[in-house]
Chain A
Amino acid sequence: MKTSRFPTSIFVLSVLISVIVSILPQPLDWNFAQPYWTALVLIYWHIEAPENVGIGSAFFIGIGLDAVSGNLLGEHALGLVVMAFIALKFHRRLRFFPMWQQALAVAAILFNDRVLSYWIRGLSGQTMPDIWFWTTPLFGLAVWPWLFMLLDRIRHQRR
């Protein structure tokens, strides 16, 4: 009864849209300014519906993202799995945070992901990124409140 309330279609659609948005062609020089959409959407669902999404779903979405972007298979998957774990662990606290605090927490999670990604890059011998690499979580911070409200509104309208 409870699980039937979980809007699976909205979940799938939001993840799909986030993946499509992140692969839309854009000037490479401005790529760092793009928030990590898929991560933001996943964090939202892990805070709001922790019983229905899990670390497994984050893993498979990450694999999908790696396949779409032609990355090392597992790179995004690992990042999203860790993110999902953190979001699940703190979802009760995150849910009661005021919006600005929540956004800061999300930025911290995204920053943690950057550290992880930096580490993977170093190990796999990819280019070491420049300073802009570390600014991407700030763009995530900026869009989080709007994304949260949008997804919340869609979800509650469905009820």
Chain B
Amino acid sequence: MNSIPPGKQSKLFIDSTTHVIQLATFASLALALMITDYHSNLLQQMRSVASLIVYPIHAISDVSVSSISYVIDFFSSRKQLIEKNNLLQTSLLTNQIELLQLESLKAENTRLLAMMDSVGNAKQKFILSNLKNVSLDPYNHRILLDKGSSDGIFVGQALLDDKGVMGQITDTTPISAFAMLISDSSHAIPVMLNRTGLRTIAFGTGSMRELVLPNIPPTADIQSGDLLVSSGLGDRFPPGFPVAVILRTEYTPGDRFATSFAEPSAALDRGRQVLLIWPQTQHTPNTLETPSEP
């Protein structure tokens, strides 16, 4: 058992009213901070300053992780091989992102919806970023990235991996950015059923494995296995990227809407690299002109 150092006994009676006063002061300060942070953007700047101050802590955490993985790499293969492998993986990722749009394009062609050919005909601009951290809080699906506003990252920017849409940026500092995943319960993304073109909205559930689509018309043609792609409505997410795959649809007769559940396509809880995509630069929709094809 621990012994009490002799010096401590003299201060046997610490004034407990001071503690109550301190508790009241700091607790109300914390409450006030939370309310301000929740309701307004007043703390936005303070938040980015705070993020800058704590950046070294993130850096240390990152170094400790990467040094461990480096040691593992070192013993498994030679350094050049690792570098080459990394390079190849980067190019694979960038290539795959361009391929992602193929499926949605195919479906569109079969439906002869030439009017929506804004998808995929322009080259997207994107940047590769490393995941620095996931949220401390498992019920709060947020991740920290190692690119910030100095790299041109902006709030609302879409986040992808090689399999689909991951989320969007919610907070930036010059050197880092926070992103919210599509599975966060406060997140919603406009989607389109790739097979039929049905437009709806997919909400996060707080589970990494499930999104919910609460307002599907009961008569809609929707099957498990159907692919949901981003519809591009709302100008947040680029259109045509896979978002999720329908798992099941539940409908209680008498209800106004059926509810579908879908599994996110992106590997939300795996991988260390993500792509940040820029919206196509002022792509003027020439869709109103009649197509001159035969």
Contact = CB atoms under 8 A, between A and B. Distances in A.
A157 interface: no
**Interface of chain A: mostly helix, strand, loop or mixed:** helix
Contacts of B38: 72, 124
Contacts of A152: 2
Interface string B1-38: 11011011011101010011011001101111110111
Given A24-B61, A85-B19, A73 B33 contact: yes
B274 interface: no
A120 B34 contact: yes
12 contacts: A1-B7, A55-B19, A67-B51, A70-B142, A72-B37, A73-B33, A81-B30, A82-B27, A92-B12, A124-B38, A126-B186, A127-B186
Given A25-B134, A82-B27, A129 B54 contact: no
A85 B23 contact: yes
B144 interface: yes
Interface string B123-143: 000000001111111111110
A70 B135 contact: yes
A73 B34 contact: yes
A127 B61 contact: no
Instruction: Pick the 8 closest A-B CB pairs, nearest first.
Output: A74-B33, A127-B206, A69-B136, A67-B50, A31-B138, A78-B30, A74-B34, A127-B185
Interface residues of A, number: 58
B208 interface: yes
B37 A24 contact: no
Contacts of B178: 70
Contacts of A99: 1
B114 interface: no
Interface string A60-74: 001111011111111
Contact of B27 (A1, A78, A127): A78
Contacts of A138: none
A107 interface: no
A45 B98 CA distance: 54
B17 to A, nearest CB: 12
B57 interface: yes
A25 B131 contact: yes
B47 interface: yes
Contacts of B37: 72-74
Given A55-B26, A74-B33, A81-B27, A20 B54 contact: no
Given A2-B7, A124-B38, A68 B136 contact: yes
Interface string A30-74: 011000000000000000101100111011001111011111111
A128 B269 CA distance: 19
Interface of A: 1-2, 5, 16, 19-20, 22-29, 31-32, 48, 50-51, 54-56, 58-59, 62-65, 67-75, 77-78, 81-82, 85, 88-89, 92, 95, 98-99, 120-121, 124-129, 133, 152
A71 B134 contact: no
A105 to B, nearest CB: 15
Contact of A23 (B16, B136, B141, B208): B136
A69 B137 CA distance: 8
Given A68-B58, A70-B178, A95-B2, A77 B30 contact: yes
A72 B139 CA distance: 13
B34 A78 contact: yes
Contacts of A54: 22
B208 A28 contact: yes
Nearest to A36: B136
